[in-house]
Amino acid sequence: MTRRIVNVSVIPGELLDGSGRVCIHLFIQDEQGPFVEMHVLHPVYEDGKRVKQRLEVKPTRGRLVCSLTRTVAPITRGGVTKVTLRTDDPRAVTCLKCLATKECKEILEEVALTEQFGARDTRQEEVQDGSSVGTPN
Ligand SMILES: [Zn+2]
């Protein structure tokens, strides 16, 4: 039998017995970013207007909000695979460094407003629908 061990970072102060909350970073689009996510949801536009209820998936360059240079490919050493969990849904973020950034706070405010008043067609920011991106392995 082959055992696979996946190492997932836990946020500071959480238990290390498997019950602690894991560290989930916020992924944002950035043309200068250090990696490309293959499956990022984007709104669909026709004639300059956003088409409601339609999203498309495309590879998208970006970065973690808490780092300009960190990459996210799983790294395996000595039978242990270390993964970097990330999401484009700010409500799912637990990384304390990501949460402390101005960008993350702005995106969270945007999401809160959208939930309060419904999706606005004029939005320039692309806050993507719910799902996490790049499920490792
Ligand atoms: Zn982070």
Could you read off the pLDDT of 62-116 as tens digits, one per residue? 999 999 999 999 999 999 999 999 999 999 999 999 999 999 999 999 888 888 7
Any domain includes 20:
yes
Ligand 1 centroid distance, CA of 125 (Å): 20
Any domain includes 66:
yes
Which residues have beta carbons under 5 A from ligand 1 (an ion)?
Answer: 25, 66, 95, 97-98
Domain limits for position 94: 5-115
What is the total count of domains within the chain? 1
* C-alpha span between 135 and 121 (Å, rounded): 29
Within 8 A by CB and 6+ apart from 15, the residues are: none
Any domain includes 12:
yes
Any domain includes 18:
yes
Kindly list the strands in the beta sheet with 5-8, ordered across the sheet, starting from the edge strand earlier in the chain: 5-8, 80-83, 75-77
* pTM value surpassing 0.85: no
Mean pLDDT of 22-51: 94
pLDDT at residue 118, rounded to an integer: 65
Any domain includes 128:
no
Any domain includes 135:
no
Ligand 1 centroid distance, CA of 53 (Å): 29
pLDDT at residue 40, rounded to an integer: 92
Ligand 1 centroid distance, CA of 33 (Å): 14
